[in-house]
Amino acid sequence: MLNLKHLLTQLAYRALNHTPTRPLPSPAIITADQELAGSKRKLSWALARDLEQNFVIAGWMVDQHLTYTSSFNFQARTPDMEFNKALEMYCLERFGKKRIDIAGRMSLDDMARAFMASKLWDGDAAIIKTSQGMLQLLEAWQIAKVDGAPDGVNENGLVLDPYGRVKKYAVAIRDSQGIHHAAMIDADNMIFDGYFRKANQTRGVSPLMPVINSARDVMDATAYYLLKTKIAAMFGIVIYRDHGKKSGNDFEMERPSGDGAEKKPLQYNIQPGLKLELEQNDKAEFLESHTPPGEFLNFATFLIRQILSALKIPYSMYDSGAANYSASRSDLNRYKSSTENERKQMLAVYDEITDFILRHDIRTGALKLPRGMTYDQIEWEWLPTASFVIDRPAEVATYISLLDRGLTTRANICKELGLGNFYHNAAALGQEERYLKEQNVTVALANPGAPVSQDKKSDDDLTSQQNKKE
């Protein structure tokens, strides 16, 4: 008899049907922080760090992502060009040469890269703005509730207001006595950022979390395949003999015992450079591994594509031979679009650091403003150093065509190609042109690579002038 209820169940969302091979997850509704509470969050950090230390592909993937998302150059944008040059030189010194890290180990570029790396591996990271005008980088595990933390700190190391906004961070340190509470830092003195995907989420979750199992599968499969290859390489040659008579050569022979021993293969300890002499009807065969490498490579490629997709990195960036120019360019453009939000987040971090440093240095007198200029009049821009360009000449030609049609600007072209600030470049070009004019030198800009002449006079004019002098 037809069971109508059962039929209606089968015709509903099949994903909701439980099967022995596909168990259903728990229907309990919990917050994102509860999903990675306590030891689970620590385990997620440990798994990610294991990939960082032992899986070269994961390390390469993160390094590539950092190159495109966390590297920028400072450009001043005030109306005063002379002050712009002075401010850029000041920031070059202030942000570089490890003068921004309270421990004296990192420049701003180093700290920004480490900050972004910690976000990728652990889910979030933090930077303390100290009263000395320096910065201190914290890893995810240092924001925690440990022994010595005051009341009001939740298990994620945070003090929240009724609206879920962070008021204070509990900071832990590790020393010879272990991990213990160090300080409570106000939110205004902390730069905290992470990957937040859900409402009410206060701690970030690594974007690598969904592909950790795939990465471990590649590591395990590679290790197993390598072990199988090594085992196969340990065996050299097998001698098949129809009788048990020992040959007259000097090789050591392992003779099997028991019934049917004469039909079993005889194995020799073959040494490099030795001569093998066989008796009549003896047969020698080299042992080979019949593991098809193509199947392993296809399997590994499938998993690697999954791993790279965690950061939206196209496979053509990992294997340049996997796609032609058009496909690679299309892949890079999609990757560019997917990284825009992360670039904006890192730019916000750079801007907050810049604002903190400049305000501190102006207040202490380390940085002096021109007469009549206030801090609010200072403008700057952080420009990405990496460009999403495969074939630069082709890209330049495309941008020139867009510029001719009024569809883009010179400033935008400089940003896209990683050529710095247009206004700064224009000022520098103007200075160069004035210098060339003073030196009476003309450069054929329309023909790059053309020889440089000392002036615009023809050879006949120069000859006539020389004759007059004589």
| Percent of the chain predicted with pLDDT > 70 | 80
pLDDT score, position 377:
92
Domain chopping of the chain, boundaries: 32-208, 391-470
Tell whether the model's pLDDT for residue 276 goes beyond 90: no
Closest CA to 138 of 209, 62, 189: 189
Residues in the chain: 470
The arithmetic mean of pLDDT across residues 349-368, rounded, is: 95
pLDDT score, position 462:
45
Q: Which two tokens stand for residue 397?
A: 């030609």
pLDDT score, position 365:
94
pLDDT in tens, 388-430: 766 677 777 887 888 888 888 888 877 777 777 777 788 788 8
pLDDT in tens, 64-119: 999 989 989 898 988 888 899 899 999 999 998 888 999 999 999 999 999 999 99
Question: How would residue 158 be classed by pLDDT, with cut points 50, 70 and 90?
Answer: very high
Provide the whole-model pTM.
0.74
Closest CA to 171 of 129, 199, 117, 205: 129
Tell whether the model's pLDDT for residue 264 goes beyond 80: no
The arithmetic mean of pLDDT across residues 360-385, rounded, is: 92
pLDDT in tens, 119-151: 999 999 999 999 999 999 999 999 999 988 999
Whether 256 and 262 have beta carbons less than 8 Å apart is answered as no
pLDDT score, position 2:
57
pLDDT in tens, 433-466: 888 888 888 776 554 444 444 444 444 554 555 5
Average pLDDT, the chain: 81
Which helix (H) or strand (E) is 315 found in, with range?
Answer: helix 315-318
Q: Which two tokens stand for residue 94?
A: 């202030």
pLDDT in tens, 198-242: 888 899 999 999 999 999 999 988 888 888 777 777 666 667 776
Q: Which two tokens stand for residue 1?
A: 């008899």
Question: How would residue 153 be classed by pLDDT, with cut points 50, 70 and 90?
Answer: very high
Half-sphere exposure of 276 (CA within 13 A, CB side): 17
pLDDT in tens, 218-229: 998 888 888 877
Whether 130 and 102 have beta carbons less than 8 Å apart is answered as yes
d(CA 24, CA 239): 56
